[in-house]
Amino acid sequence: MHKYPGYLSYRGYRGTVEYSPELQCYFGKIDDVSALICYDGDTRSVLQEAFERAVDTYLLDCARLGREPERPFPRLASSGR
């Protein structure tokens, strides 16, 4: 398993990027929520799409259940993430 520098970003949420040579796929999890929300893909672009779907699904599920979604952590603009 290899952790890659940088993160995915969408709607203010941040997700990790890792790669499994054994499975030959990328995977990650959303950093900004206490629930474990994972995503995967064969390429970085597919991983980005899966991450965006995971964020959208999380927000829709919260709305459907009448729960306030956890908000992303504030980030410093100079951090590059």
| Residue 72 confidence (pLDDT) | 79
Domain boundaries, the chain: 2-68
CA angle in degrees (0–180, nearest 5) for 32-20-50: 45
- pTM for the full model? 0.83
* Residues 11-43: tens digit of each pLDDT: 999 999 999 999 999 999 999 899 999 999 999
Share of the chain above pLDDT 90, in %: 78
Write the burial class of residue 62 (CB in 10 Å: 0-12 exposed, 13-18 middle, 19+ buried).
Answer: middle
Write the burial class of residue 63 (CB in 10 Å: 0-12 exposed, 13-18 middle, 19+ buried).
Answer: exposed
d(CA 8, CA 80): 12
> How many Cβ atoms sit within 10 Å of the Cβ of residue 76?
7
Work out the average pLDDT over 2-18: 86
* Residues 39-72: tens digit of each pLDDT: 999 999 999 999 999 999 999 999 999 999 998 7
